[in-house]
Amino acid sequence: MSKDYYNILGVNKNASQEEIKKAFRKKAHVYHPDKVTGDEAKFKEVNEAYQVLGNEQKRAQYDQFGSDFTNGMAGGFSGGGFGGFSQGGIHVDMDDLGDIFGGIGDMFGFGGSRSENGPRARRGNDIQTILTIDFKEAVFGAEKEISLHKKVKCSHCNGNLAEPGSKIITCSNCRGTGKVTRVQRTILGNMQVQSACDQCGGEGRSYEKKCTQCSGRGVNMDTVRLQVKIPAGINDGESIRLVGQGEAGERGAAAGDLYIKMNIKDDPRFERDGYDIHSVENISFTQAVLGDKIDIDTVEGVVSLKIPAGTQSGTIFKLRNKGINVLQGRGRGDHLVEIRVNIPSRITRKQKKLIEELGL
Query: What is the dihedral sign for C-alpha 203, 209, 215, 218?
Result: negative
Domains and CATH numbers, the chain: 1-73 (1.10.287.110), 127-167+208-264 (2.60.260.20), 271-358 (2.60.260.20)
Q: What is the pLDDT of residue 187?
A: 61
Binding residue per annotation — 200? yes
Residue 178: other Cβ atoms inside 10 A: 23
Q: What is the pLDDT of residue 202?
A: 79
Give the chain's mean pLDDT.
82
Q: H or E stretch including 182?
A: strand 179-186
**DSSP conformational letter for 68:** G
Binding residue per annotation — 232? no
Q: Choose between 281 and 42: higher pLDDT.
A: 281
Q: Reduced to 3 states, what is the DSSP secondary structure of residue 162?
A: strand
Q: What is the pLDDT of residue 360?
A: 59
Distance from C-alpha of 123 to C-alpha of 344, rounded to nearest angstrom: 68
Binding residue per annotation — 281? no
Binding residue per annotation — 214? yes
pLDDT tens per residue across span 159-207: 888 899 898 888 888 888 888 888 777 666 677 777 888 878 778 888 8
Q: 203 with 116: CB under 8 angstroms?
A: no
Distance from C-alpha of 99 to C-alpha of 77, rounded to nearest angstrom: 23
Distance from C-alpha of 320 to C-alpha of 28, rounded to nearest angstrom: 62
Distance from C-alpha of 241 to C-alpha of 127, rounded to nearest angstrom: 10
pLDDT tens per residue across span 118-135: 455 678 999 999 999 999
pLDDT tens per residue across span 207-231: 889 899 998 888 999 999 999 999 9
Q: Choose between 173 and 258: higher pLDDT.
A: 258
Listing DSSP states for 93-145 in one string gives -HHHHTTTTTSHHHHTT--TTEETTEEPPPPPPPEEEEEEE-HHHHHH-EEEE
Mean pLDDT across 335-345: 93
Binding residue per annotation — 126? no
Q: What is the pLDDT of residue 340?
A: 97
Q: What is the pLDDT of residue 152?
A: 95
Q: Are strands 239-242 and 258-264 parallel, antiparallel or unpaired?
A: antiparallel
Binding residue per annotation — 28? no
- Tell me which of 112-116, 172-176, 301-305 is least confident: 112-116
Of 343, 339, 338, 337, nearest in space to 284 by CA: 343
pLDDT tens per residue across span 287-299: 999 999 999 999 9
Q: 83 with 182: CB under 8 angstroms?
A: no
Binding residue per annotation — 147? no
Distance from C-alpha of 95 to C-alpha of 115, rounded to nearest angstrom: 9
Residue 28: other Cβ atoms inside 10 A: 22
Binding residue per annotation — 18? no
pLDDT at 64 over 80: no
